[in-house]
Amino acid sequence: MKTNRPGWPAIAAQLARRGSAVPRTGARDFWEAFEARRHLYPQHPSPAHAHARRAPWFWAFGSLGATSLLAACTWFLFLQPAPVQAHSAIHSYEIDPEHGTVMILQDETIHAAILWVANLDLTEAATEPESQE
């Protein structure tokens, strides 16, 4: 592809007309100096060396494994659904009046759950007559 840019002879002639110093360094010396100084400045990688910058397989698989482990831990610790209660059960209770022992019984035959409150004091709550009794 032809360009309109001037070559080195034209540039050298123009510099000579202006009275500027024209470098007299030979091509060989120039390239030797260039090679010597090249390492002082960051260079763009050549396409042949581009593959060397890819992440190694070790890091790829390592990060994948770490991510999977993190996801599994998150699932088991935070996102796992609550286990389904197979049988009847008492989970919690609050008893307001004075009372004695509280027992939770689980019948193994038909899996009934019994919450039994001993010595429950209902004198304060007994404001209405027990019409059913």
Partner 1 sequence: MSATHLRSPARLLVLTLIVLLANGRLSADTLRIRMIRAVQEASEGVAPALHDVLPVLRSTLAFKSYLLDADATLPLPANGELARVGIYQVLCEGAADRLTVQILRGSKRILRTVATVRRDQPVILGGFPARSGGTRMFILTVEADTPTP
Residues that bind partner 1 (CB under 8 A): 84-97, 99, 105, 107, 109-118, 120, 122, 124-133
Q: Is the separation of the CB atoms in 57 and 65 below 8 Å?
A: no
Nearest-approach distance from CB 80 to partner 1, in angstroms: 17
Q: Which is nearer to partner 1, 64 or 125 (CB)?
A: 125
Supply the minimum distance, in Å, between the C-beta of residue 51 and partner 1: 50
CA distance 101 to 91: 17
Closest CB 104 distance from partner 1, rounded Å: 10
Which of residues 35 and 94 has its CB atom nearest to partner 1 in the complex? 94
Q: Which is nearer to partner 1, 32 or 107 (CB)?
A: 107
How many degrees, rounded to 5, is the angle at CA 3 between CA 33 and CA 12?
A: 45
Query: How far, in Å, CA of 111 to CA of 90, rounded?
Result: 12
Q: What are phi and psi of 21, to 5 degrees?
A: -75, 125
